[in-house]
Structure formats: structure tokens, C-alpha cells
Amino acid sequence: MLGIYLQASWITSLFFSIIISFLWIYTEPILILLHQDPSISKQAALYMKYLIPGLVAYGVIQNILRFLQTQSIVIPLIFFSALPMAIHFGIAYAFVYLTSLGFKGASLAASVSLWISMLMLVTYVLCAKKFEHTWEGFSFESFSFILTILKLALPSAAMVCLEYWAFEILVFLAGLMPNSELTTSLIAMCVNTESVAYMITYGLSAAASTRVSNELGAGNPDQAKNAMAVTVKLSVLLALVVVLALGFGHNIWAGFFSNSPEIIKEFASLTPLLALSITLDSVQGVLSGVARGCGWQHLAVWANLATFYFIGMPIAAILGFKLSLYVKGLWIGLICGLFCQASSLLLITLRRKWTKVDMT
């Protein structure tokens, strides 16, 4: 059935990729409607335009990753991630500096690299003999499982969107502040730093989700709980390593984003807040993976909605605008949201009964 679920996921991802592509086409009028700077909106729209080709490939990649992780296949994933990444550096440099594309070359390079990665993964799944029992070829039967996929996929997508959109809202709010060029640059740097740090947690979250769901499927709730505990501890430990590196090398890191002394100085003042948010993100990331593995997505959606949009974002707006803390105020509001989110997910994890996910 894994192959059937994979095909149903592909169909679902393609459908939503088309919808999102249409939204990206109208990026400029949407941003202007949200009172963003017209010149920045135009540049952002051009950047998004060249990301559209990679959207379909990204969806397929994510589906295949889950297909492989469910079967505890990890080492090939490292290879199929490292090789496209190495190629991406060359493509990105060539497109940005050796053509007239400029900054648009960066997004086009991302799309090309995603397609390379997707083609490699698809070829691996279709040709490797180890998948002869889980991949039995294309079948129209997959269409009958689309609703089954959506039952878990929509709440899971809502979980991720509610969290990611909170970060993007901070960028929009920064664009409404005085000296928006400085504030948006700082918030964008913070968001990107958080995203890079979260990659470690993201991997552990996927591992926790797969491990927990497999153990629950085998009727071993105690083993599932042990896997969760170990993963949370490891995630926090690795987050502290990242925080330590950021604490000592924040000026070097900021230099990768900007050569402006003012921006680098302001980023340094935000480093303690970033350290706290990265640590909280390491906890909630794994707990979110556990929620997906246990089939508690519907509960996590409400937790994310309440903590980010009824607590975090209002606090960010008040501190950033009313109390004139600007970027620091926005990030403190986010930290409040992350703390409440992690606490809510922990409460759900401790109070809910761990049972096998119902796929009917």
C-alpha cells in the first residue's frame, strides 16, 4: 500500500502546487494590497516567478522522502541531498554572476536544483530492487485513496502553515515600520537564521514522526514514548550547539547577509532573542512531529492557531508598534508564541492516549 499512498500523495501535491502557483503569479498586487513598498513588491514578484517551476518538484521530493523514511531508508537520502546541493552552488553562482538574471538567477537555480533532486529520487524509487514490494508500478487505485491522504495531510499542512505564516507576518509588519529597509532586512536575517537552525530539528521531527507512527502501528506505545523523549533531548542539545556557535560568530554570520555595519550591529543585539527562539523551536519541532506520528494533527492545529495568532502576533504588534521596540518587539512576540506553542504541544503529548493512527 505504500506505493499507492505515494501516488495519491503525488496527485494531491500536484493539485495544490497549481493553486499555489497562481497565488505566486499575483505576488506583486497581493503585497501592494498589504501596504508593502511597491518597488520591493515588484522585486519579490520577479523572484517568486522563477521559483514556480521548482514548486512541483518540491512536492514530489517531500512525498518520496516520507516514503523512504517510513521504510527506515536514510543513507541514500543523504547522498540524494548532498549531490544536488553541491550542484546547486555552481548553478546558483553561474546564474547570478555569469548571466543577466541577477537576483532572479538565485530562485531559478533553486528550481533547477529541485528538479535534479526530484529526478534522482524518482529514478531511485522506480529502479531499485529493494522497493519491488512497496512500489508495484502506477495504478489508478491511487485515486481512491486521495481522500484518505487528505484526512491527515490537510491538518498536517495547516499545522505547518500556521507556524510558518507567523514568521512571514513578522516580515510584513517590519515592512510597515519606519526605516522599513532596515527592519525588513533584520527580520529576514532572523527568519533565515531560525530556518537554518530548524533544519536540524526538522530532520529529528521527521524521524520522531516516522518512529512513533511505526511503533504505534506495531502496538508498542512505550517504545514510541521513549523515542519521543530521546529525540527531544537530542534536539535541544543540538540547538544549544547552534546557539553557542551563533553567540560567538554572530558578526561573521551576519556578514553573509549584509556588509552594512549598522545591520550587523543591530543583528548582534538580536542574538540573545534568537538563541531563545531557536531553543524553543527545537522543542516544539519534535513535539509537532510526534503529534503527526500519533495522528493528533487536529489538536496541534488549534494549538498553533491559538498560540501564534491570539498570543504571539498580538504581543508582537503591541511591542513593535505601540511600545516602539520595533524588530526586538516583533521577535519577543514570536518567542511568546513559540513558548505557548511548545507548552501546549507538551500538554497534548502528556495527556493524550497513545494509540495507532486510524487511516479509515
Mean pLDDT of 195-212: 87
Do 34 and 168 form a contact (C-beta atoms < 8 A)?
Answer: no
* 233: confidence class by pLDDT, cuts 50, 70, 90: very high
- pLDDT reported for residue 259: 83
Q: Please say if the pLDDT value at position 358 is more than 60.
A: no
pLDDT tens digits along 48-72? 999 999 999 999 999 998 888 888 7
- What is residue 356's predicted lDDT score, i.e. its pLDDT? 59
The answer to whether position 241 is within a domain reads: yes
Count of domains observed in the chain: 2
- Clarify whether residues 112 and 200 are in a common domain: no
The pLDDT tens digits of the residues spanning 110-162 come to 999 999 999 999 999 998 888 888 888 888 888 888 998 888 888 888 998 99
C-alpha–C-alpha distance, residues 146 and 44, integer Å: 34
Give the pLDDT mean for 274-283.
95
- What is the reported pLDDT for 346? 94
Beta carbons within 8 Å of 275's beta carbon, 6+ residues apart: 243, 246, 247
Q: Are residues 56 and 173 in the same domain?
A: no
Same domain flag for 109 and 226:
no
Q: Are residues 126 and 216 in the same domain?
A: no
What pLDDT was estimated at residue 207?
A: 83
In a domain, 359, yes or no: yes
Q: Is the pTM of this model over 0.75?
A: yes
Note the pLDDT of residue 333. Answer: 97
Rg, Å, the chain Cα set: 21
Give the model's confidence band at 272: pLDDT under 50 very low, under 70 low, under 90 confident, else very high.
very high
- Asked if the model's pLDDT at residue 175 lies above 90, the reply is no
Q: Please give the pLDDT value at position 265.
A: 92
Q: Report whether pLDDT(9) > 80.
A: yes
Q: Is residue 4 part of a domain?
A: yes
Same domain, 180 and 242: yes
End position of a domain, from candidates 138, 171, 200:
138
% residues pLDDT > 90 (the chain): 57
Residue 47, C-alpha cell as written in the block: 523572484
Show the domain range for 212.
152-360
Does residue 95 share a domain with residue 188? no
Residues 68 and 2 in one domain: yes
CB 17 within 8 A of CB 157: no
pLDDT, position 72: 77
Q: Of 112, 138, 164, which marks where a domain is finished?
A: 138
Which of these three, 107, 138, 169, is where a domain ends?
Answer: 138
Verify that 158 and 125 share a domain, yes or no.
no
What integer pLDDT is reported at residue 338 of this predicted model?
96
| 201/302 same-domain check | yes
Question: Which pLDDT value is given to residue 2?
Answer: 82
Same domain, 58 and 128: yes
166 and 134 both lie in a single domain: no
**HSE-up (13 A, CA, CB side) for residue 308:** 24
The reply to whether 250 and 293 lie within a common domain is yes
Write down the mean pLDDT value for the chain: 90
In a domain, 144, yes or no: no
pLDDT confidence of residue 151: 85
Residue 100 has pLDDT above 80, yes or no: yes
The pLDDT tens digits for 333-349 are 999 999 999 999 999 99
Residue 146 lies in a domain: no
Residue 40 domain flag:
yes
pLDDT of residue 136: 82
Q: What does the pLDDT read at residue 73?
A: 82
Q: What percent of the chain has pLDDT over 70?
A: 99
Task: Supply the DSSP symbol for 357.
Answer: P
Cell digits of residue 197? 537552525
Q: Is 311 exposed, middle or buried (0-12, 13-18, 19+ CB in 10 A)?
A: middle
